Chains A and B, each alone.
Chain A
Amino acid sequence: MISRLARWIDDRIGGSAFAEQALSKIFPDHWSFMLGEIALYSFVVLVVTGIFLSFFFDPSVAETTYHGAYPPLQGTSMSEAYRSVVELSYDVRAGLVMRQAHHWAAIVFIAAIVVHLLRVFFTGAFRRPREINWIVGVTLLILAFFNGFTGYSLPDDLLSGTGLRIAYSIALSVPVIGTWMAFLIFGGEFPAEAIIPRLFVTHILIVPGAIVALISVHLALIWRQKHTDFPARGRREGNVVGPKLWPTYAAFSMGLFFAVSAVIMAMGGLVQVNPVWVYGPFRVSEVPSPAQPDWWLGWLEGALRIFPPWEARAFGHEIPNPFYPGVLVPTVTFGALYLWPFLEARFTGDRGPHHLLDRARDHPVRTAFGVTALSFFVLLQVAASNDLLAHRLDASVATISWTFRIVVPVVPPLLGYVTYRLMTALQASAAERFAELPLRAVLRPAGDGAKRPEVDVAGYAPSADGAELIVYREPDGRWRWCYRPLDNGVELRSNKSYVSQEAAEHAALRAYPDTPLARPAEASGSTSSGPRPTSG
């Protein structure tokens, strides 16, 4: 049945050549390579749950009175948007699960993207030839932020209305074009009626469309350039090692999809998130207290909170305070992210292609910079809860905020410096793992006497491999090759077969230009030089 369908398709589009490549395509295996997949699968959950929500949500600010199943809001006047969200949560079966799962999926989506970005950054996976995919990825992060914000603003509750009001003020703060920009985006002075329908079409059509397009590009580029891998025995710049797509990797990846969906849907039912009926409908003169945004906006909220009361005024014009934390900080952040691969190539002079990943110690400056930036954002994130912290610690909000005003600019560079020292010490010592690093090596980086063996920059010495390449003939007459360590280590077989001995040899030497090719036994069916039987 399946093969008949496959033949039907092949007769029409000739897909077999691609399918042959695709089924045996190799995906390196490491837990950190699943982070991007988690983001992808939570996006699938977002789309599915989002379609459900769109059938019930009413993007209108028309005034209405609530007569639904939630008693405390009975008779309250509110917008149709807010009413439809409360109704969806209380009166539509499975509506609350879908709504909360949608929100949790957004939280997981952005978290997975951020952690994936950190993995790519600290391992140097953004280096040539993957700069384009880095740019696509950073753009996806921005789009995810943007769609998170638009979605969170749709219910027209008191908390989201407050968020929109702050967004409006930030737009207003942009020099020269700010007022026009704010009025055109919102449709007039806040709170303009046009904003909810506009957010809706942006949230369910424009941005998701862009995200789908860019995810496609992202995956196509990974497919074309093949995945990076950590240095290890048998892995070279010129090869990829891992399970084949079909069937093993496909089963695990599908398993991951179901696992991600399981966690998100279970949380959708079991863990409350964004209870808009508690916040109440949006009212122009009210504000919730305390008011914290979703986690992924915490860094900007923190920046807005602790930024000192400065603003620039000259010649009858001003650049208001929210511009610096609200516009400048994200612009510099994403600008630096976009430019990082090019800046690093420029400053290190390393413009060569890289497919084997770095360990953190291989690039102490990059690692230190990453730690500095990361701790900066984490501290801002904590600063976004300055009011809660003040309450918890029984201190004044002023004390807490002043603490952050000092800590945020001072601590990250210190942590960066400490990181740099640790990384250079690790690099100079023989320690394989962080825990094995002797303290004196940290205090006097080059002085621990022990010297690690001569290795290449990736911390791995191919010449010490002690392996050979074997080309052999399969019973079906096609040719394969394998990489065989001489000390009975794990053998790596070619992912596909070749029509000729020459083709197999050529492929083997492309993958391992440094490894000797053992002459094959005559193709007499002898298995003497074939691969050792492996237990599967």
Chain B
Amino acid sequence: MQQLVAVLVGVLMASSVYLMLSRNLVRFVLGLALISHAANLLIFVSGGITIAMPSLVPEGASRPAPGGSDAVAQALILTAIVISFSVLTFALVLAYRAYQRLETVDTDAMRAAEPRRPPPSGGAGDLP
């Protein structure tokens, strides 16, 4: 099971890199979504995956039964998922706003911040 998830992390990471290499902003954002899934799953594996072994402390003991998975790692992913969810939403909105204002999703064609050629003196390219 752990090996399987580990391979899945690798596959997700590889596909996200493939998507992020694209010049299309939408594909890039999808790549970001996948890479954050990969990172979250990685934390999940690092805490250990067990089947039908709740990480609870048995009555009378002071620590969880041995062999169970680590609950801290799962708490970490919960936080990470919430953060990556909000960040991703933000990225989507940003991409949409950029599409509205710049009228393209091709990152090569987005030259508003860095004009291709320095404008001649007195040109209209003076940035704020």
Q: Do A and B bind each other?
A: no
